[in-house]
Structure 1
Amino acid sequence: MQMLHDADLRGFASDNYSGVHPEVLDAIAAANGGHQSAYGADAFTARLQEVVREHFGEAAEAFPVFNGTGANVLALQALLPRWGAVVSAKTAHINVDEGGAPERVGGIKLLTVPTPDGKLTPELIDLEAWGWGDEHRAQPLAVSITQSTELGTLYTAEEIRAIADHVHERGMLLHMDGARLANAAVALDAPLRAFTTDAGVDILSLGGTKNGAMGAEAVVVLSSRASEQRVGEALVYLRKLNMQLASKMRFISAQLVALYDGDLWRRNAEHANAMAARLRAAVEDVPGVSFAYPTQSNGVFARLPAGVADRVRESFFFYDWDASALEVRWMCTWDTTEDDVDALARAVREAAGA
């Protein structure tokens, strides 16, 4: 078969640009033999339920889906009545990068809050968490946080617990977008449940694609509060309604089992985080280079001297994050190498005349 791309090419635009981890590919191939029941009634999806309970507790229930946007829309739909709204950071993926899917497909009003670092706090949530009983206002009945955030920052378990307690006291439920959950767990040196189930999160979008999967995510119901509202039952029907029910679900579940039944999720995230730390350290002394946010996971947000980004982009592809501030985003992933990082750092130095 003709190779249509340069297999050695590396970039820093997104952790979605990387290929599939060989262990995940092997798991897909292993799932390919014989026949298995469709729509989730298969051995691999059953094993995924066991793995999810091992990580998140005995009450956890997983619903595999195709992609992160689908996971977020489904999770929020399952939490909310038709008149419900969700409070999120203005920078949240559900607000900025999902093409309006939560609102257009999910029918969910987003109540967004500006934040200095991508993180909500109880005080920031209260800017939009009001108006219950007012028939003229969409009712704020859920909060969505992202771990790690779109700005590469992290919530501690204590910060999430404070948010969860605040939200629950107001009769709201808490959703976590965990597209980069593994990167957060590694950075916090904590088990996955420490800042999810044990911190009071009610429902989770569990990521796989950014951490070495071909295309695999899951909605995971975590709390008794969500169960009491029959969120799991709602997901059974909403997943089909939203075209996220895979007929050959074993191939999605097999990927998530490969990642989370063992330490592959951790190994991949540790490497990606380490490459981001190496990149920041390699350019932080370049004159004119500064950083908009701490580098706490696998993303580096750098402000470069005028013209530097365009010159570096002649060799490495990456995105402007805030062009008006000359701010770029560099994302590292499971297959980013030290040589990749060092070559990008050299290009930045040369372009900056350092």
Structure 2
Amino acid sequence: MHDASPARPGATRHDPAVRGFASDNNAGIHPEVLAAIAQANGGHQKAYGADVYTARLQEVFRDHFGDAAEAFPVFNGTGANVVGLQSMLPRWGAVITASTAHVNLDEGGAPERVGGMKLLPVLADDGKLTPELVDREAWGWGDEHRAQPLVVSISQSTELGTVYTPAEIRALADHAHERGMRLHMDGSRLANAAAALDVPLRALTTDAGVDVLSFGGTKNGAMLSEAILVLGPEVGEGLVYARKYAMQLASKMRFVSAQLLALLEGDLWLRNARHANAMAARLRGAVEAGLADGSIRGVAFTQPTQANGVFATLPEGVADPLRATFRFYDWRAEHREVRWMCSFDTTEDDVDAFVAEIGRLTRGA
């Protein structure tokens, strides 16, 4: 259903050489990122972020997100979300988020168990919150019996592959700020959203009113590199301490920072994201063409393909035989809904072979 486990219902183990569409986490490390790690390996550097690479990274993040941006590199997306949200909330605070959000479904309860915050999930059919949906849980301020809704958290792109426009994010930010709440963005696939909309990263974040961003690198070609970005005024209090006690402070931080520098100093972040998005568009287009000419049968799409994910339902008995050749996860197995993710290293041949196998199996189903 999501990214973390290879043992989802209906999944099988595969030879490591088998490629697939399970997750952009399954891709390797981009060669330019590997080269940057190797280059950073020369000599000694000060530990815990006092190195020249992390100092340079602050400058690069400000180039992308504005002069007020402050970056805190961390190991992984869950750590970025938990520590980032902690820095926005008192102990009695709560976070309004979509029910499908990664913080709600795929982080092992870490926001609540480690972060000490209450999540208030809202059903959103396309994975996107709106001001009206936020208001379903934005109430009860001053009621000592209710965890106080103080942060709205959105994912960009969403876990259903949909993308917020700058105007939609601005509407959410304004709505939250007017009610004394703040806006957090889980940007594990922010690069894919920016590439899809052909806008700079700050158009979806700083300029749209996001207060704290979890910036993702791992799904876009890095090895283990994310960052918490403080973008708004009067947020991020205590983050430098929370990162340490949450075990997200790297002693040899230069190697985390070097990966993000490789992505962001040039246009590698954009090249990788554009390619992953293009492969998802190719996959969807080929399946739609097959449905039109009869070479594929019984497949239906459940969400628009706006970034690098394709969501579809398959005919009975097709998913497991298809998984024997290509990795992918069930999303909602009871509805025969699956998720196909493309990554920076997905090839046209991967897509074409996958579509051919879908056609072979659905025609015989």
TM-score under structure 1 length normalisation: 0.96
| Letter aligned with residue 348 of structure 2 | E
SS of aligned partner of 1:247: coil
Determine the structure 2 residue equivalent to 1:262. 266
Q: CA deviation at 1:287?
A: 2.1
Determine the structure 1 residue equivalent to 2:287. 283
| Letter aligned with residue 325 of structure 2 | S
Which residue of 241, 244, 255 maps to 1:240? 244
Determine the structure 2 residue equivalent to 1:316. 326
CA distance in 2 between counterparts of 1:317 and 1:164 reads 37
CA distance in 1 between counterparts of 2:233 and 2:113 reads 29
Matched, 1:251 2:255: yes
Which residue of 121, 124, 135 maps to 2:130? 121
SS of aligned partner of 1:280: helix
Map 1:1-354 onto structure 2 (within 5 A): 8-226=17-235, 231=236, 233-284=237-288, 285=291, 286-353=296-363
CA distance in 2 between counterparts of 1:274 and 1:322 reads 25
Q: CA deviation at 1:9?
A: 3.2
Deviations 1:190-235 (A, max 9, x none): 0000010000000000000000000000000001242xxxx1x411
CA distance in 2 between counterparts of 1:173 and 1:33 reads 41
SS of aligned partner of 2:119: strand
Higher alpha-carbon deviation: 5-14 or 149-158: 5-14
Determine the structure 1 residue equivalent to 2:9. none
CA distance in 1 between counterparts of 2:41 and 2:358 reads 45
Q: CA deviation at 1:243?
A: 0.3
CA distance in 2 between counterparts of 1:225 and 1:190 reads 27
| Letter aligned with residue 263 of structure 1 | D
Q: CA deviation at 1:11?
A: 1.3
- Alignment coverage as a number of residue pairs: 345
Deviations 1:116-152 (A, max 9, x none): 1000000000000100000000000000000000000
SS of aligned partner of 1:198: helix
CA distance in 2 between counterparts of 1:8 and 1:247 reads 33
CA contact (8 A) 2:36 2:262 kept: yes
| Letter aligned with residue 109 of structure 2 | G
CA distance in 2 between counterparts of 1:133 and 1:204 reads 27
Amino-acid identity (%): 72
Q: CA deviation at 1:7?
A: 7.2
| Letter aligned with residue 141 of structure 2 | W
| Letter aligned with residue 306 of structure 1 | E
CA distance in 2 between counterparts of 1:154 and 1:210 reads 16
CA distance in 1 between counterparts of 2:77 and 2:16 reads 26
CA distance in 1 between counterparts of 2:201 and 2:119 reads 27
CA distance in 1 between counterparts of 2:53 and 2:298 reads 51
SS of aligned partner of 1:88: strand
CA distance in 1 between counterparts of 2:356 and 2:70 reads 47
CA distance in 2 between counterparts of 1:349 and 1:178 reads 34
CA distance in 1 between counterparts of 2:47 and 2:323 reads 45
Give RMSD over aligned pairs.
Answer: 1.1
Cα distance 1:7–1:263, how it changes in 2: closer, same or farther (>3 A)?
A: farther
CA contact (8 A) 2:18 2:327 kept: no
CA distance in 1 between counterparts of 2:62 and 2:344 reads 25
SS of aligned partner of 1:224: coil
